[in-house]
Amino acid sequence: MSLWITWWNLVLSLRPAFGRYRTFLWFSSALAAFCVREDLRGVTSFVRALGLHQAFYDRLLDFFHSPAVDVTQLTALWTGLVLRVLKPFLLTVNGRIVLPCVWVGDSYYATAKIILPLLQGGNHLVTALKSNAVAYEPAPSPGKRKRGRPRCYGTKIRLKTLFEDASAFTEAPSPVYGEKGVALAYRSVDLLWRPVGCLVRFVAVIHPHRGCRVFLSTDLSLTPLEIIALYGVRFKIEVSFKQAVHTVGTYSYHFWMMPMTPISRRSGNQHLHCKSDRYREQVRRKIRAYHCHLQTGVIAQGLLQILSVLHPQLVWSYFGSWIRTIRPGIPPSEQIVSMALRHRLPEFLAGASNTSALAKFLSERLDLNRAEGMRLAA
């Protein structure tokens, strides 16, 4: 039960984001369902996971559409909770937290639309570049000032040509996590990049197994090996997205809008400017429901990760099943934490009904005519 009590104490810090306490309890119920459900069949799986009476299916839908949920404040409270609870475990570089203060992304994010707002906020981006990317040397200072605007850009350099001079590369052990006994070669140059109009650091890397890549960093204080190591962490971000999709089901639900005008398969434009105010408000309501569902799923996954990092032994003791390989020192996955919470949910509902408002709230809504309700009430 202590695992659920820890979970509940974390969730209580998010209470100010809800205009009504009952809305907060439905949020907590949806959060618990995200954490323990065995299938990803939308809100139906929430009802099954918590053993609720079928009448509360609509109440869960009402929660996601409720105006009593301030998603912006919820996001801010959750961010503060993560920074406070996981501070000793956060990856930082030069005093900045990796994601979001140092944003690590793939080549899709190497655009002015992403980089300029980051720089204005004092943040930075580390990313890969496409093979056809170009940069410029700073323009040489003219000996005599001429009429007109001074040149900003000098010689144009295709970044893939950086690999042509083998003597300019330095060999070093790979700084990427998990790689041992691997040596790579790299070279670093600071050049002007036209999309942002300032100097950025480019690192060309030759990896014995992964091939050649060029990385970009807007933070000129980072060393080439630090840039390579940071980009290597991006794989962890991809794994988190995979867990969000396949384990937690953050993106697995669709809020349908019955009055929406049908459109052809190849068209994605609803032309909302031609619709009535009521129609546009209905669309905004559905978008808010999407945002609420996504944020709830993100928080559920974060809670599973917090319990995994802070209480790994407790999670394994409540796991109650079998896994072929348990690696010492490696925190359990989100799925393992979910199974541990699922196995202890009946105990939480029975033993914490006098101390936890959520336990009492769920216990009063169990459907004792179904197997799920009977199991949780036992």
Share above pLDDT 70 across residues of the chain, in percent, rounded to a whole number: 97
Both 75 and 133 in one domain: the answer is no
* 338 within some domain: yes
Domain boundary among 204, 221, 238: 221
Both 285 and 186 in one domain: the answer is no
* pLDDT one-digit tens code per residue, 75-105: 999 999 999 999 888 888 877 787 677 888 8
Q: Are 170 and 184 in contact (CB under 8 A)?
A: no
Both 291 and 321 in one domain: the answer is yes
Both 109 and 192 in one domain: the answer is yes
Q: What predicted TM-score, i.e. pTM, was given to this entire model?
A: 0.84
* pLDDT one-digit tens code per residue, 289-318: 999 999 999 999 999 999 999 999 999 999
Answer yes or no: is pLDDT of 258 > 90: no
Q: What angle do CA 179, 128, 138 make, to 5 degrees?
A: 125
Both 107 and 212 in one domain: the answer is yes
* 192 within some domain: yes
Q: Which band of pLDDT confidence, cut at 50, 70 and 90, is reported for residue 353?
A: low
Residue range of the domain that includes 340 = 2-87+250-257+276-377
DSSP annotation of 352 reads S
- Average pLDDT of the residues in 192-217: 93
* pLDDT one-digit tens code per residue, 332-347: 999 999 999 999 999 9
Q: Which band of pLDDT confidence, cut at 50, 70 and 90, is reported for residue 329?
A: confident
Q: Are 193 and 207 in contact (CB under 8 A)?
A: no
Q: Which band of pLDDT confidence, cut at 50, 70 and 90, is reported for residue 150?
A: confident
Both 206 and 292 in one domain: the answer is no
Domain count, the chain: 2
Task: Supply the pLDDT for residue 59.
Answer: 95
> 174: helix, coil or strand?
coil
* 122 within some domain: yes
Nearest alpha-carbon partner for 15 in 6, 27, 3: 27
- Average pLDDT of the residues in 138-150: 75
Both 99 and 83 in one domain: the answer is no
* 44 within some domain: yes
Residue with tokens 């809008």: 257
Both 215 and 318 in one domain: the answer is no
Half-sphere exposure for 145 (CA within 13 Å, toward CB) = 2
Supply the mean pLDDT for the chain: 90
Both 192 and 296 in one domain: the answer is no
* 233 within some domain: no
